Every structure is written in C-alpha cells, then in structure tokens.
C-alpha cells in the first residue's frame, strides 16, 4: 500500500557531528526507490512515499545511511496519519502558548509498562512529560537548554531508541506529509 512516511533521523548535523547534506539525503532515499522525497531543516526530517512496511523501511534506510555516510544513524518512522494524531494529542499544548517549550520524543518501539512506571519523571521538575504509546510528550517551562531531561535519559529509561522534535517542527512535518499524499 502506498503510504506517506516521515523519517526522523537521530543526531545528524548536531554540533558538526554526523554531517549529512540534505541533497545527499534526498538522493539516498530516491536511490532506495522512495517517491516524492523532501527534507525539512538540517536535523534529519524526510517526507517520502513508499509501498514498503515500516520495519523493512527502517532497516533499509539505516543500512544505506551507514554505507553512504560511514556512521550509524537511528531512524524512527511515522506514517502521515500517526503523525497527525501526535499533533492533536500533546497534553500540554493547551496550556503553553510558546511552541518552543513543547517537544515530542518519537520512540522506535513502545516501551514496556514496567519501564514507563519506573521512569522517575519527578526528578526532572519543573519539566513534565507523558509517555503515550511510541511518543513522549514534553513540556519544558524554562526552555530545553536548561533542562536535566535529555534524549539519552529517555532512551535509557524506556529501553528504546528515541529522537526529539520541537513542536514547530512537528507541525511543519504534519503539513508536508499532508501535501505529499
């Protein structure tokens, strides 16, 4: 089934590490046979169409990234409908007028119930978070830069790969995915 996907690449083009030019990233996706490929900002957001299943897509994209750029990059996928649901579900959006203080960590796999219960979120106060399925919705009332809550802590606590996006980027990706299909 032809599906619009959003690939969220973890940790590229951050502080000069894991450099991936967007033109080369688009070309890589096209070589893999994906259609209507577009990228958004330099942080590794790719909107594309494909007939393949999620697990095959992740494996193929991660392998091609390793072969092309010489380093491992974790890839998290959401289809257009999943991403639209994420954009409607942020539990803190109604009370926070500043989009920059809202983030979503996209998880590669749903965490176990035990991992979610054991995640000691109160130690990150005043930051708050809620785990819903394969997403972690975060509110950084003082901004992300001063927070003790990092992506590495989320991955360790929940036992799965994660990549974060700010609320503006989530909105733009929803818009691009809707235009794609």
List per-block mean pLDDT (blocks of 10 residues) for the chain, which spans 181 residues: 94 84 95 96 93 95 96 96 96 91 97 94 93 97 91 96 96 94 69
| Residue at 117 is within a domain | yes
| Residue at 113 is within a domain | yes
Q: What was the pLDDT predicted at 163? A: 96
| Residue at 175 is within a domain | no
Q: What was the pLDDT predicted at 100? A: 92
Contact residues for 70 (Cβ-Cβ < 8 A; gap 6+): none
Do 9 and 39 share a domain, yes or no?
yes
Q: What was the pLDDT predicted at 7? A: 98
What would the two tokens of residue 78 be? 């959401």
Distance, CA of 77 to CA of 75 (rounded, Å): 7
| Residue at 179 is within a domain | no
Do 75 and 105 share a domain, yes or no?
no
Q: Show the domain range for 136.
A: 90-166
Do 47 and 97 share a domain, yes or no?
no
Count of domains forming the chain: 2
Do 15 and 74 share a domain, yes or no?
yes
Distance, CA of 114 to CA of 119 (rounded, Å): 9
């Amino acid at each position: 089934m032809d599906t619009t996907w959003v690939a969220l690449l973890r940790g590229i083009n951050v502080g000069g590490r894991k450099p991936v030019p967007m033109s080369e990233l688009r070309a890589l996706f096209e070589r893999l046979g994906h259609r209507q490929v577009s990228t958004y900002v330099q942080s590794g957001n790719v909107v594309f169409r494909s007939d393949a299943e999620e697990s095959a897509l992740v494996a193929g994209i991660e392998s091609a990234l390793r072969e092309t750029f010489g380093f491992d990059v974790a890839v998290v996928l959401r289809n257009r409908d999943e991403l639209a649901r994420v954009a409607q579900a942020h539990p803190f959006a109604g009370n926070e007028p500043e989009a920059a203080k809202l983030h979503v960590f996209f998880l590669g796999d749903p965490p176990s119930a035990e991992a979610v219960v054991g995640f000691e979120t109160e130690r990150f106060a005043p930051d708050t978070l809620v785990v819903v399925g394969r997403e972690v919705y975060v509110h950084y009332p003082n901004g992300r830069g001063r927070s003790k809550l990092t992506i590495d802590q989320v991955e360790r606590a929940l036992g799965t790969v994660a990549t974060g996006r700010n609320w503006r980027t989530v909105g733009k990706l929803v818009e691009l995915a809707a235009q794609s299909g």
